[in-house]
Copies of this chain bind each other. A is one copy, B any other.
Amino acid sequence: MKFDLLKTCAQSGARLGLLKTDRATIETPVFMPVGTQATVKTLSPEEIEEVSEGIILANTYHLWLQPGEDIVQKHGGVGGFMNWPHALLTDSGGYQVFSLSEQRKIEEEGVHFRHHKSGAPLFLSPEKSIEIQKKLGADIVMAFDECPPFDASYQYMKESVERTLRWAERSKKALAGSDQALFGIVQGGPFQDLRKASFLGLENIGFPGYAVGGLSVGETKEEMLASLDYVKTLLPKDKPRYLMGVGTPEYLLESIARGMDMFDCVHPTRLARHGGAYTKQGRINIKNLQYADSLEPIDETCGCHVCRTYTRAYLRHLFKAEETLGRRLVSHHNLYFLKTLMRGAKDAIRHDRFGDFKNDFLREFDASKR
């Protein structure tokens, strides 16, 4: 994997970059749709191609449990399994261990926890996570980390950050010899000195890219942006910066303004499955009665297949009739909407006007909330 920083927006500090993996060359900033279980929910790979920039995320935890990494490996990895010939990133499984499992015991060696459905005892460690991620075969893989709640105590967070650093070193060692690119994850919650210690520790180990973890986990927008304002001062300019778990149009633009390059989030597709659709004028819910006989597309300025083809009335009908095509079409639109937004962002960075672009977009997008 290689990363070239092409440009930094003079107006905002937003970055334009080029991420090259063996399977794809991707301009950043980039939003990566989430293909949790080797499928972006409701969409086929051909559709994902239309609505993404050629890189998606898959979840190590889920694929480890179903169908198991060996079956995926037999297909040549997640790409062969789901028929996705482009770039892939897998997470470490750590986030799911801490968000899905209610009973868990963290030790130096790793984490004992229970299956989120069956309750069966499970164990994940840096070595185990990397072993699975090797078999899943993504271009970019993540170091195994703990993602504590944003409001964890300073003492807890300090010990966690130190342990996560030792896990990062073990992750790197476990991946030695692979051509997969391993990203380290900066943790530390709201504490600047812990964020700094986390980053410096990771830098000391040495990674081709750095992720920012422990954000978008329930803290306020102000808290999140304040953390990001600090973390961006730590991160090296020549490495890609991946902000995990973001998101929405607002958060994406605010994070790009803070120098972040890569993003992932289930939100746009989860929202879609409940009828929530992005428009330039803000979010609408297509199930609302007011769209029952609307011959308009979701967003008349959107160039996606769904907006060029279907009316709000038809989409609403599909939801009311509980037809899965509705969830699929709105998922398609929402991802395309973000792709268009990111393309606009890249163009604005190129012309040193990302600040204006962000403000213009948010003025129109947020108007619906006022």
Q: B residues within 8 A CB of A62?
A: 321
CA distance in complex: A43, B318 (Å): 12
A316 within 8 A of B: yes
Q: B residues within 8 A CB of A44?
A: 325, 328-329
Q: B residues within 8 A CB of A292?
A: 67, 71
Residues of chain A at interface, number, CB under 8 A: 36
Which residue of chain B has its CB nearest to the CB of A326? Answer: B39
Q: Distance in Å from the Cβ of A74 to the closest Cβ of chain B? A: 6
- Residues of chain A in range 291-321 having any CB-CB distance to chain B below 8 Å: 292-293, 295, 309-311, 313-314, 316-318, 320-321
Given contacts A75-B311, A311-B75, contact A37 B83 (CB under 8 A): no
Q: B residues within 8 A CB of A327?
A: 324
Q: Mark A33-66, 1 if CB is under 8 A from B, else 0.
A: 0000111011110000000000000000010001
CA distance in complex: A56, B66 (Å): 36
Q: Is A323 a contact partner of B74 (Cβ separation < 8 A)?
A: no
A82 within 8 A of B: yes
CA distance in complex: A338, B75 (Å): 29
A81 within 8 A of B: yes
Q: Is B313 a contact partner of A67 (Cβ separation < 8 A)?
A: yes
Q: B residues within 8 A CB of A38?
A: 314, 317
Q: Distance in Å from the Cβ of A301 to the closest Cβ of chain B? A: 20
Q: Is A314 a contact partner of B41 (Cβ separation < 8 A)?
A: no
Question: Which of B39, B71, B323 meets A313, CB within 8 Å?
Answer: B71
Q: Is B324 a contact partner of A324 (Cβ separation < 8 A)?
A: yes
Q: Is A309 a contact partner of B71 (Cβ separation < 8 A)?
A: no
Question: Which of B43, B295, B316 meets A325, CB within 8 Å?
Answer: B43
Q: A44-B329, A67-B317, A324-B324 are in contact. List 5 more A-B contacts (CB 8 A).
A: A37-B317, A62-B321, A75-B313, A81-B313, A82-B314
Enumerate chain A interface residues (CB-CB to B < 8 A). 37-39, 41-44, 62, 66-67, 70-71, 74-75, 81-83, 292-293, 295, 309-311, 313-314, 316-318, 320-321, 323-325, 327-329
